[in-house]
A = this chain, B = another copy of it.
Amino acid sequence: MIQIGVIGYGYWGPHIVRNFQGLEGCEVTVVCDKSTEALRRVKKAFPSLQVTSDIPEALAATNVDAMAIVTPVWTHFELAKAALENGKHVLVEKPFTSTADQAEELIDLAEKKKLQIMVDHTFLFTGAVKKIRQLIDEGTLGKLYYYDSTRVNLGLFQHDVNVVWDLAPHDLAIMNHLIKDKPEAVVATGEKHLNAHEDIAFITVYFQNNIIAHINVNWLSPVKVRTTLIGGEKSMVVWNDLEADEKVKVYDKGVQITSREGVYELLVSYRSGDMWAPKVEQTEALKAECGYFIDCIKNSTTPFNDGRSGLKVVKMLEAANQSIRERGRIVQI
């Protein structure tokens, strides 16, 4: 029986607690939050759990094998470091850390201690991302051309990070998961309208082999959009995460090019075929992720969404922020 502690019981913490509680082979033992109101809510929902507002106490709890850290990003490093030093595996909310240096220090520490780090990029466990990954792996899309995501809505304003650190980690994790080629450089632009942090931003990531990725994030959109286009040589995907069914559509559409005698003699022809919406698994992504975390601990296997995977995202976030500050200057990764 793996024993789980949870630090942070704000928006996402209750989902973490509920999912671990519902799994076989593990139990939540301790929940820690500075807010007594939050602890009161824990007690009401799960009367048997031990609660505390004392972080060091939680970090040192002997009835905890693994600690879920579900707090603002600027606290991740200190909390995860203390947990690892206390011999606990960690599940860290995304983004992993505030800086790449912090991420690297945690990775080293975990390796030395032979402990697992998992970064909670929940989207990687959704039916939609799993299906798109499968389509790419099976060669349905052919050589990839581009990844283009729009992730906009009204709020949620967070005062400690900008819209890039709030919304882009999803897309960065997903594109790293889907695109085998290496990201090379980032160009990002953005603007602040209401406070000290960007509320709108546009990020281009250049990958090897002419693959280009783009992310449009915006806290000031009156409508919510969660749409990603993925273009490939053989077919193309439109993933609309707001559709109840038919989230993933595969288009047998594309362009064929036949070279004749030089670059201006290319013959371009269009393919326009069927569209196909494969059935997508409907299980709760977080439940699958929590179960996978338990399995990785039990079997001492490194999760694919480990510290290194989280580090990649942090590096790209750092690069995006730097590029925005320098008004679009390209930043190598």
Interface residues of chain A, those whose CB is within 8 Å of chain B, are 47, 145-146, 148, 150, 152, 154-155, 157, 159, 185, 187, 189-196, 200, 202, 204, 206, 210-212, 214, 216, 218-224, 229, 231, 235-238, 242, 244-246, 251, 253-255, 257, 263-264, 266, 268, 270, 272-279, 323, 327-330
Contact = CB atoms under 8 A, between A and B. Distances in A.
B218 A216 contact: no
Contacts of A220: 145-146, 231, 236, 254-255
A1 to B, nearest CB: 18
Given A146-B218, A154-B254, A155-B268, 18 more contacts: A145-B220, A154-B270, A154-B272, A157-B268, A189-B206, A191-B211, A194-B266, A194-B268, A200-B231, A202-B204, A202-B214, A206-B327, A221-B231, A222-B251, A222-B275, A224-B244, A274-B279, A275-B277
A193 B210 contact: yes
A155 B275 CA distance: 18
A328 B187 contact: yes
A56 to B, nearest CB: 26
Contact of A223 (B189, B238, B270): B238
Given A192-B210, A221-B229, A236-B220, A159 B278 contact: no
A322 to B, nearest CB: 13
Contact of A274 (B266, B272, B277): B277
A159 B264 CA distance: 7
Contacts of A237: 222
Please give the count of copies of this chain that the complex contains: 4
A274 B195 CA distance: 26
7 contacts: A154-B272, A189-B206, A222-B251, A222-B253, A242-B244, A323-B328, A328-B330
Nearest to A210: B191
A308 to B, nearest CB: 27
Contacts of A202: 202, 204, 214
Name the prevailing secondary structure of the A interface residues.
Answer: strand
A255 B194 contact: yes
9 interchain residue pairs of minimum CB distance: A187-B328, A222-B251, A189-B204, A191-B212, A222-B236, A275-B277, A222-B253, A157-B268, A220-B231
Contacts of A263: 195-196
B189 A255 contact: no
Contact of A229 (B222, B253, B275): B222
A276 B276 contact: yes
A238 B266 contact: no
Contacts of A242: 244
A223 B251 contact: yes
